[in-house]
Amino acid sequence: MFTVRLENIKIRQDLSNDEVAKIAYTKFNIPQESVTDYKIVKKSIDARDKNDIFYNYSIVVLLKENFKVSKLLKNKNASLIEQEQKQKTVLHNALKAYNRPVIIGAGPAGLFCALTLIENGIKPIIVEQGKTVEERQKDVELFLKERILNTCSNVQFGEGGAGTFSDGKLTTNLHSSLCKDVIDTFVKFGAPEEISYINKPHIGTDNLVKIVANIRKYIENNGGKFMFGAKAVDFEIENNQVKSVIVSRIQESTTIDKIETDTVVLAIGHSSRDMFKKLYEKHVEMEKKNFSVGVRIEHKQQMINESQYGKNPKLKLPPAEYKLAYHGEDRSCYTFCMCPGGTVMASSSEEGTIVTNGMSTFARDGENANSAVLVNITPEDFKGDSPLEGMYFQQELEEKAFKLGGSNYNAPIQRVEDFLNDKKSTFIGEVKPTYKPGVTLANLQEILPDFVTKTLKEGLIYFDKKIAGFASADAILTGVETRSSSPVTIKRNEQKMASVQGIYPCGEGAGYAGGIMSAAVDGIKVANAILAQ
């Protein structure tokens, strides 16, 4: 048997995978009877020429041994694939029951860390202050409808992490074989198979909810334990070695659990401010880091489609995306977490604050497109020397947005035309805001730092040259977006361990990831580091 990768298969029709494969066989002169099996491994859209938009496929085919592969391999778009032998880490001495690792946080980093440990015979305890993903959904809906915020179970906190209520993007700048493992795992637990080959895979919030629940059940069925509604509030540390985690039951504030362990994974997420404070108090080494703040922008998805694909594409194309960056003299401005056909989400995790994020379902079939438009922030922008200054910087902006919105969880919004002209908006035009529970017309410049306002304006004008209509008068800006990444880095060594022995900073909250994919990969890496000890 031969396994061959066939690339650069240009398709200008809407076809099934089987039909694409048949075209590939013809293009590469492969008799269909010589093919044992095939798999689509890449599908991307080439829209550089609006008059000739096409899909570009790559497929892997399994060929019978009697097929003369040498002639095929003379084609530069065909290559032989060597079957790689995967080495699986096996821990020979399982940890004793009282030494079960404790994973704090059930987001992508925590869940993939737990899965990796489970596969190697270790049964971790996962502590999560939020609720199961099904119950968490109800808390999010209650906030959107009734403005009742559960500060422990919301868009930021709960099973699945902050990425569950987003677009479920799996794009990343990482070049790691573990990325494929993450994709394969998501498919195993219910994600659409197409995420394994499309160029910019996403799962969608609707699918993520089901997938996360399936992962939890698998972990539990294999000996892992979840503690929901349980907040890690302290650690016992002796001779610079962690000895236990102190956990408070949220519904029973007088109930305190002490979990003895010498292995703690901090998969805490970028919004775990109480934990950041506790780690600082415990002298766990941390430092300030760069992050970004800004606003969410909304356009009609149809306008974005026409800009990216032209007005009359021949193919049935998915809702269009974009990714833009502007580099000014002092600052940079860029789009982040673009959600085609999505909504702007109320993402507060603390009372008296406004935080925005974007969300899409798998179909991405909403009327508006939205994206964060962010400006970089550096530690030099902070007032004090504490490693927590970035956190306080974020918090101050969120509290100002809450007041500007009317102190009722309405988000302050502004038309782009008014933002560029320094005046408060007095009406909503063609683009209708999707943020719930409600919005208040405002002037966002009243709360944004001057350097953020200046760079946002420059960025909007520049982006309009790339996508005609990006800075259109009626496009809506919603404030504020502050949780693009963690404001701190919890320092760790080559063994992934913090300055306190047995504590493993992990994922986005610890400063080592940015998004679902990179967080999941870091969770696997930390699990492997634990197994290697």
Give the length of the chain.
533
* Positive or negative: CA dihedral 71, 75, 78, 82: positive
Max Cα–Cα distance, the chain, nearest Å: 74
pLDDT reported for residue 83: 63
Bridge partners of residue 16, in order along the sequence? none
Contact criterion met (CB below 8 Å) for 270 and 155? no
Beta strands in 105-156 (DSSP E): 125-128
- Per residue in 222-251, pLDDT (tens digit) is 999 999 999 999 999 999 999 999 999 988
Backbone angles phi, psi at 266, to 5 degrees: -95, 80
* Interval 365-395: pLDDT, tens: 999 999 999 999 999 999 889 999 999 999 9
Q: Which two tokens stand for residue 254?
A: 């007088």
- DSSP-assigned beta bridge partners for residue 38: 61
Q: At what angle do helices 516-532 and 178-188 cross, to 10 degrees?
A: 110
> What distance in Å separates the CA atoms of residue 266 and residue 289, rounded to the nearest whole number?
18
What SS3 state is found at 9? strand
Q: Tens digit of pLDDT for each residue in 439-460? A: 999 999 999 999 999 999 999 9
The shares of helix, strand and coil residues in the chain, as percent rounded to the nearest 5, are 30, 25, 45
Structure tokens at 68: 């003369």
525 membership: H or E segment, kind and range: helix 516-532
What is the rounded distance in angstroms from the CA atom of residue 126 to the CA atom of residue 132?
12
Dig out the tokens for 351 from the structure: 């009372």
Distance CA 325, CA 336 (A): 9
User: Per-residue confidence of the chain (533 residues) as pLDDT tens digits?
Assistant: 889 999 999 999 999 999 999 999 999 999 999 999 999 999 999 999 999 999 999 999 999 988 989 999 999 999 998 765 555 545 444 444 447 999 999 999 999 999 999 999 999 999 999 999 999 999 999 999 999 999 999 999 999 999 888 888 998 888 899 999 999 999 999 999 999 999 999 999 899 999 999 999 999 999 999 999 999 999 999 999 999 999 999 887 667 899 999 999 999 999 999 999 999 999 999 999 999 999 999 999 999 999 999 999 999 999 999 999 999 988 999 999 999 999 999 999 999 999 999 999 999 999 999 999 999 999 999 988 999 999 999 999 999 999 999 999 999 999 999 999 999 999 999 999 999 999 999 999 999 999 999 999 999 999 999 999 999 999 999 999 999 999 999 999 999 999 999 999 999 999 999 999 999 999 999 999 999 98
User: Which residues fall within 8 angstroms of residue 135, CB to CB, at 6 or more apart?
Assistant: 153, 158, 228
> What ranges do the domains of the chain cover?
2-80, 97-287+486-532, 290-481
Closest of 418, 474, 471 to residue 444, by C-alpha = 418
DSSP letters for 234-283? EEEEETTEEEEEEEEESSSTT-EEEEE-S-EEE---TT-HHHHHHHHHTT
- Of 284, 270, 305, 298, which is closest to residue 394 (Cα–Cα)? 270
Determine the topology of domain 97-287+486-532 in CATH: FAD/NAD(P)-binding domain (3.50.50)
368 Cβ neighbours under 8 A, 6+ residues apart: 298, 299, 300, 301, 341, 342, 343, 431, 432, 434
Q: CATH top-level class for 2-80?
A: alpha beta
Torsion of CA 447, 448, 454, 460, to 10 degrees: -100
Instruction: Show the tokens assigned to 152.
Output: 């422990």
44 by Cβ neighbours in 10 Å (0-12 / 13-18 / 19+) ranks as middle
pTM over 0.75: yes
The structure tokens listed for 104 are 């704090």
CA distance 72 to 2: 11
Q: What is the pLDDT of residue 96?
A: 46
